[in-house]
Amino acid sequence: MGRLIARKKVIRLSPDGERTRPDSIAVEEPLEIRVDGRPLAVTMRTPGHDVELAHGFLHTEGVIGTVDDIRDARYCDSRDDEGRNTYNVLDLGLAPGVPAPEVGVERNFYTTSSCGVCGKASLDAVRLKSRHSPAGDPMRVSLEVLASLPDALREQQEVFDRTGGLHAAGLFTPDGELLVVREDVGRHNAVDKVIGWALLGGLIPARGCILIVSGRTSFELAQKAVMAGIPVLGAVSAPSSLAVELADECGLTLAGFIRNGSLNVYAHADRITTSDRAALA
């Protein structure tokens, strides 16, 4: 798996004693995203699907609306101590007529793997108006299908199986068909990769789709779903209060604690159908 996994020696301690053995560790490296040659953001990510990540990031930040807003994407000549290209600097050229990113989008600091919006000036700076509101999406998904999706996502986490150290995001149809899954050390990066994949494939707005994420649901993940026009967001853990508030305001169905056939619905439960009624009350 190339740069996705590193092999390191670890000391294993147990009641039976101590031994040294090799272990697989998820790789984390910085990616600098530039727009028309100007540095815009640096995120710590798992290498791979960088073009998708950058497209998804620019879309969910409101910089671009369609894939046609990007003229080209290319790696810059960044070198390590041994003179090898690191492939850690990606420059995206905007198409003619597409305005440059607003100052509020620029991140002159490192975005951590765990939180993509830490350090932004204010909450208002990330309350972006979506071009593809999910509010009017009439899609429905059964409780049985939705409850099964985290397990379906987990089955596709190849790097997690070897390292135990990655988040995942997956896009599904209401019938439970997996469209794409992406892994990353950062949950927001995994979502950006999924949305970037959909954008490059002409699937934005992602109407009638379900986004499933491992871990918890932060405000930023809910925002990314709204920006992409995704009507249903589900997670295996809890949402934050701001994620619930945003979902309620924007028409996003938000589910959490999806485990063992059950789940909690925090906003817009009408899209989830059950066997004994047309939809949850």
Q: Using pLDDT thresholds of 50, 70 and 90, give the confidence band for residue 71.
A: very high
Residue 270 and residue 281: Cα distance in Å, rounded? 7
What's the pTM? Answer: 0.87
Within the chain, residue ranges assigned H as helices are: 50-60, 143-155, 158-163, 187-200, 219-227, 241-250
Query: What number of H helices and E strands is found in the chain?
Result: 6, 15
What tens digit of pLDDT does each residue of 253-273 get? 999 999 999 999 999 999 999
103-112, 224-233, 260-269 — which is least confidently predicted?
Answer: 103-112
Is 115 tagged catalytic?
yes
Share of the chain above pLDDT 90, in %: 60
Residue 278, pLDDT above cutoff 60: no
Residue 119, pLDDT above cutoff 60: no
User: Which one from 76, 115, 209, 250 is the annotated catalytic residue?
Assistant: 115
